[in-house]
Amino acid sequence: MRDQTDAPSASRAEAGVGAGVGAGSEVVAGPDVPPAATRAGTGEGAPAPASAPGVRHARPRPLGEHRLWPRSFADRLTTPLPGMRALARLAREGAFRPGPEGLRGIPDLPYAPAPLPAVAAGTVSVTWAGHASWILRIGGLTVLTDPVWSRRILGTPARMTPVGVRWEELPPVDAVVISHNHYDHLDAPTLKRLPRATPLFVPAGLARWCRRRGFTRVTELDWWEAAELGGVRFEFVPAHHWSKRSLIDACRTLWGGWMLSTATATATATADSAGGRPGAARKVYFAGDTGYGHWFGEIGRRHPGIDLALLPIGAYAPRWWLRDVHANPEEAVQACMDLGARRMAPMHWGTFVLSSEPVMEPLQRVRAAWTRTGLPREHLWDLPVGASRAL
């Protein structure tokens, strides 16, 4: 089911709502988790990183462990799900798609597929395949984010732009991260193309869905939990969103974003030309799908020195319907600043028609918002679909 079909209503929560999440994340604590960290979403009782005084980071959880979770994660919502009045208003207004004028921008959508660049040791490279799908190469691993290579997803017209990288041109995939279970982020036909031994990192409650499809290395995490693979740390972080895949499973699985970072000990000693830190870990934040709110500041506090934030800028109109679950371009830029990220790469636009804003508007607005901040223009990585950038 598409995000806007059941998006939270216009009663937007204040920034602090939901700050006390985590009640009932895991029924049984694993042997490597201190008792105080059993309720992982609270962030309490976990070990701390030296880079952020006063912030405690959990020890990595074992890869592929089988875990028990509550039946619902509705207590993590930062706004309530919509009622019949909101649904009736949406049906009455019929604001599901852009009008003819808004769709005329489809030929102008930026699409520039190119061969994947070679990646030197210690560097990070991102390639935008479209929507929230990235080919992220970090710490020697090739990681796919929310991979959707299908031409069409449930309930939407076909893609406006083709996938930026042909599946056959991908290097071997070392891992996949999934932000949540909506159809434009969790695409079963795409995942079926992967070897079943591919490591998957997924939100709490979603491993069962993956294992039913034959995947044998599935690691599901709660907010602020992490696991490690090949020297790269995968930490699941909160988002202002929700989950649903059928008529009866709203909020049965968790939703969030991912912080991928290399270990300092294995990071390259070369600084990037824009002022990177010699020998420091690289950090890339993948937001998945989210509205704007207090979590960005908290993520930035726990993870100082983010090199690149992959942030959604599309599917935001009508605003009264989508503001709680989809950031608009100006909010995405503010989120980048809240995170303290050095660079921002926009995503979640220009691929599927999910809402009613003109198809080129997200790019125009994010560029204008970035200019108003006075930040270096070269730090806005507004890539065409299929293009790559490295740091």
Predicted local confidence at residue 383, as pLDDT: 98
Strand ranges of the sheet holding 283-286, from the earlier edge strand across to the other edge:
226-229, 232-237, 257-262, 283-286, 308-312, 344-347
* Cα distance between residue 310 and residue 236, in whole Å: 14
CA distance 339 to 211: 34
Buried-state track 68-90, b at ≥16 Cβ within 10 A, e below 16: ebbeebeebbbbebbeeebeebb
Beta strands in the chain (DSSP E): 125-130, 133-138, 141-145, 175-177, 200-203, 218-221, 226-229, 232-237, 257-262, 283-286, 308-312, 344-347, 388-390
What φ, ψ does residue 8 adopt, rounded to 5°? -55, 155
How confident is the model over 280-315, as pLDDT tens digits? 689 999 999 999 999 999 999 999 999 999 999 999
pTM recorded for the entire structure = 0.85
Q: 388 has which bridge partners?
A: 127
> Which segments of the chain does DSSP mark as H helices, in order?
84-93, 100-103, 188-191, 207-212, 295-302, 319-322, 329-339, 361-373
Residues of the chain below pLDDT 70:
1-55, 264-280
How is residue 136 written in tokens? Answer: 């992220």
pLDDT at 259: 98
pLDDT digits (tens, 9 = 90+) for 28-54: 333 232 222 333 333 333 333 334 556
Q: Report d(CA 200, CA 146) in Å as an integer.
A: 11
CB 349 within 8 A of CB 316: no
Closest to 41 in 3D by CA, of 62, 66, 24 = 24
C-alpha distances out from residue 292 to 93, 105, 363, Å: 24, 26, 18
In this structure, the number of other CB atoms found within 10 A of the CB of residue 195 comes to 11
Q: What is the pLDDT of residue 52?
A: 56
